[in-house]
Chain A
Amino acid sequence: MTMNGLHTLVGVRMRKTVIALGVLASMGGGTIPALVERAFAAQVNSNLARAKAVLPPDAMRELERAVDAARSRGLPTEPLVDKALEGAAKGVPAERILAVVRQLADELGRAHELVAGSGSATPADVTAVADAIRRGVPEGAVRLLRDGSAADEPIALAVHTLADLLDRGVPVDVALDVLGAWRSHGARPDQLRELPAAVERLIREGVLPAQAAAAVASSVRAGHGPGAARGPAKPAARGAGRGAGRKDSPASPPEPPHPGRGPGRGNKPGKPGA
């Protein structure tokens, strides 16, 4: 066989291989999501079986109805069954369990609408967004987060982190700025987890939440990482012997003047004594 003939043979074999691989890939492309969906369905069915063991029959029928309705809307159903199991484990009456399950279905529906714009949203993302809204994250903030997200960005973790920042008293716009800083510098998931902890550390040092978050954002933008953030000043301590952050006791008697005492005199503006 000539070299050209060998090349031709190899080329044909490679083409056939590529075509075969392409066929397999397209089968897998359709098969794998179907397999995953079947796995989820199997999980849900397994949990439904467990729910059947702990819920009365009529409550179980209502739960199945809610699960079917959610499934028909393309919503994740595992959180609904999980919620029912949770309620049963906590000894909640069946009618209250169902009320919360229905409410959760509404929240998942709302969350699904919010993340539908980002093509790669998973059931976990929808559940995480529903959780975040329940924790007080405004829907507008979720939309802004979604609109700025990259294709492979973990939306669930990002929106969870946003909720963590708001829990610490950080205003929404500042919290979004922190996440924007994280995005603009690599968007590493492990660094995302560090953001609330870094803000919390500064708050414990006496920095106001907005300033703490702004300091963390600045540190991330400068490439130093969240842990290197330093907050701006606390008000200067008033008087020796008072620990930073310790509230001055309004019941303490007036103190005599003391040379060399720190800035300010006493606990309150114009408090008698120095």
Chain B
Amino acid sequence: MAWMEWLAGLPPSLLLQQSGTAYLLVNAAHIVFLGVLVGSIVSLDLRLLGAGRSLPLNLVGPFLSRMAAGGLALARPLGRAWVETSLDIYDATNGAADGLYTALGTSGRFAVGRADLSLGAAYWRTPAGNELGLDATVATQIADRLVAYARVERAPTDPLYGTPRDLTASFGVSWRVTKKRLARAIPVVELAEPIGRGRKVRFQLAGGVADRAAVAGSFTDWKPRPMQRAQDRWVLEVVLEPGIHHFGFVLDDGRWFVPDDAPGIVDDGWGQRNASLVIVEGR
């Protein structure tokens, strides 16, 4: 296939074809990381199924999970950085420069103090040849709705529109004029007024989530307590004593449900999850 030929023509691929040592090292690394990934997952699964009970799950679980994640190249937010890779393939047919355009790209976004740095690179294979595109942008907030930025870009030749390869630099200020937001989602839990040592708590779900909804948790002995329908939502108010409370929702025919935006989501130990809430005395 054409895209495979394109891959074979990339400089790293050519190196692997020509150098036995490079191929050996890359293949070994590939096997090692696969082993780390699969080995960690299998070990964790065996422990969850009950093997090696003497090994505390709260110690080996996080370690094995991290090992598995480390063995796999992932695009994920890392708190201070976001890195992703992509492979784009599209077929342009406009009579100017028909053909297959493919790009292998990588981009990253990094926090540098109060500034945001974005870097990108893409290797383009086009009907007119192969070229490298690069860009770097740094942006920093200078006021509530004002962002100052600087960008440098090396754009490859564009055969479709006849623009030649060039290097551009741009500077500017971006002003967000309006600050409209989408309507807020219904909060799953709202804390109301203190009652005695505890606190009244309102549990809520969007009305469209089910025909019947109930709350079940440590404060109901895990028996479903039916919620009431109020306009666009299901509601139940409960007074909770100080302490930590686990809960979830039971929908329709008994399906256990915990919304993604529920507070304090924690694994229940049986493959499902609970939400959790801490009530502090008098607060």
Contacts and interface: CB of A to CB of B under 8 A. Distances in A.
Interface of A: 47, 50, 82-83, 85-90, 92, 96, 99-100, 103-104, 106-107, 110, 123-124, 127-128, 131, 133-136, 154, 156-157, 160, 163-164, 167, 169-171, 174, 189-190, 193, 208-211, 230-237, 250-251, 253-254, 256-257, 262-265, 268-274
B129 interface: no
Contacts of A100: 268-270
A182 to B, nearest CB: 14
Nearest to B115: A232
B259 interface: no
Interface of B: 50, 56-58, 62, 77-82, 86, 88, 90, 92, 101, 103, 105, 107, 109, 111, 113-116, 118, 120-122, 124, 126, 131-135, 137, 139-141, 144, 147-149, 151, 153-156, 158-161, 163, 168, 170, 172, 174, 191, 216, 218, 221-223, 242-244, 246, 256, 263-270, 272, 274, 276, 278, 280, 283
A269 B105 contact: yes
B134 A160 contact: no
A231 B141 contact: yes
A19 B216 CA distance: 50
Contacts of A256: 161
B266 A272 contact: no
A271 B246 contact: no
A269 B107 contact: yes
A104 B153 CA distance: 55
Contacts of B156: 270, 272
Contacts of B246: 82, 86
Contact of A270 (B50, B155, B216, B223): B155
Nearest to A82: B218
Given A160-B278, A272-B159, A237 B105 contact: no
A89 B216 contact: yes
A136 B122 CA distance: 36
Given A127-B243, A233-B140, 13 more contacts: A89-B223, A100-B268, A128-B278, A134-B267, A160-B276, A170-B79, A236-B151, A263-B137, A270-B135, A271-B103, A271-B155, A272-B101, A272-B124
Nearest to B269: A100
Contacts of B278: 124, 128, 154, 156-157, 160
B120 A268 contact: yes
A157 B139 contact: no
B264 A268 contact: no
Contacts, number: 221
B80 A163 contact: no
A135 B153 contact: no
20 contacts: A50-B221, A85-B222, A87-B270, A110-B58, A123-B243, A124-B278, A133-B58, A134-B58, A163-B264, A232-B115, A232-B116, A236-B147, A250-B88, A254-B160, A263-B151, A263-B170, A264-B151, A264-B153, A265-B155, A273-B161
B103 A233 contact: no
A235 B153 CA distance: 14
Given A236-B149, A237-B174, A264-B135, A269 B90 contact: no
Contact of B221 (A85, A127, A128, A209): A85
A234 B263 contact: no
B149 A273 contact: no
A138 to B, nearest CB: 8
Contact of A235 (B86, B149, B218, B244): B149
The CB with the most chain B CB atoms within 10 A, among A136, A163, A237, A268, is that of A268
Contact of B122 (A163, A234, A268): A268
B134 A270 contact: yes
A89 to B, nearest CB: 4
Nearest to A96: B270
B134 A234 contact: no
A135 B161 CA distance: 53
B221 A47 contact: yes
Contact of A128 (B148, B158, B244): B244
A269 B153 contact: yes
Nearest to B143: A230
A167 B45 CA distance: 23
Contacts of A167: 265
Nearest to A163: B264
Nearest to A267: B88
Contact of A271 (B62, B122, B268): B122
A269 B121 contact: yes
B157 to A, nearest CB: 8
